[in-house]
């Protein structure tokens, strides 16, 4: 069983399916691939994985989602889990939101939609804690 996971958060199921498929192609069984459709569901997934002894090593989160924006969600994650690598995925974030994500959440990479598998791979590798590279 894999004890490290990558969590993807986006309110569009097609985006989640695409991310999950690309990551599985790139990294194979090296990680578990979990998805959530909003920040609230992402917190539930984080809690479940923590209870199961699975460490989330990277979160890829959309910016524009119902309920809570991705930069706000990632800032909260960073405050609670500073060891998790964070990536902001966006098609609409403005410069202020991106700056907030970098400063408050310590986001390592901002990926613009649409992305290429190569960009996604480099972003994940850059966000991984050193122990998982």
pLDDT single digits (tens) 7-18: 999 999 999 999
Residue 132 lies in a domain: no
The Cα–Cα gap between 104 and 78 comes to: 8
Kindly report the pTM of this predicted structure: 0.94
Residue 92 corresponds to which tokens in the numbers above? 């609409």
Question: b/e for 109-120, b at 16 or more Cβ within 10 A?
Answer: bbbeeebeeeeb
Residue 43 lies in a domain: yes
Q: Which residues contact 103 (CB under 8 A, 6 or more apart)?
A: none
The tens digit of pLDDT for each residue in 57-107 reads 999 999 999 999 999 999 999 999 999 999 999 988 788 889 988 999 999
Q: Residue 102's domain spans which residues?
A: 4-127
Number of domains in the chain: 1
Residue 26 corresponds to which tokens in the numbers above? 């790139």
Residue 92 lies in a domain: yes
Residue 83 lies in a domain: yes
The CATH number given to whatever domain includes residue 38 is: 3.40.50.2300
Residue 133 lies in a domain: no
């Amino acid at each position: 069983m894999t004890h490290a996971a990558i969590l993807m958060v986006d309110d569009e199921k097609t985006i989640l399916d695409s991310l999950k498929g690309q990551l599985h192609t790139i990294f194979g069984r090296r990680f578990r691939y979990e998805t959530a459709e909003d920040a609230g569901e992402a917190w539930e997934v984080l809690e479940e994985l923590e209870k199961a002894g699975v460490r989330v090593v990277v979160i890829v989160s959309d910016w524009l989602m119902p309920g809570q924006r991705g930069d706000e969600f990632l800032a909260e994650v960073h405050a609670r889990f500073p060891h998790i690598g964070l990536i902001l995925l966006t098609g609409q974030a403005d410069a202020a939101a991106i700056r907030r994500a970098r400063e408050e959440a310590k986001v390592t990479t901002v990926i613009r939609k649409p992305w290429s598998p190569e960009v996604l791979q480099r972003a994940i590798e850059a966000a991984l804690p050193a122990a998982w590279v």
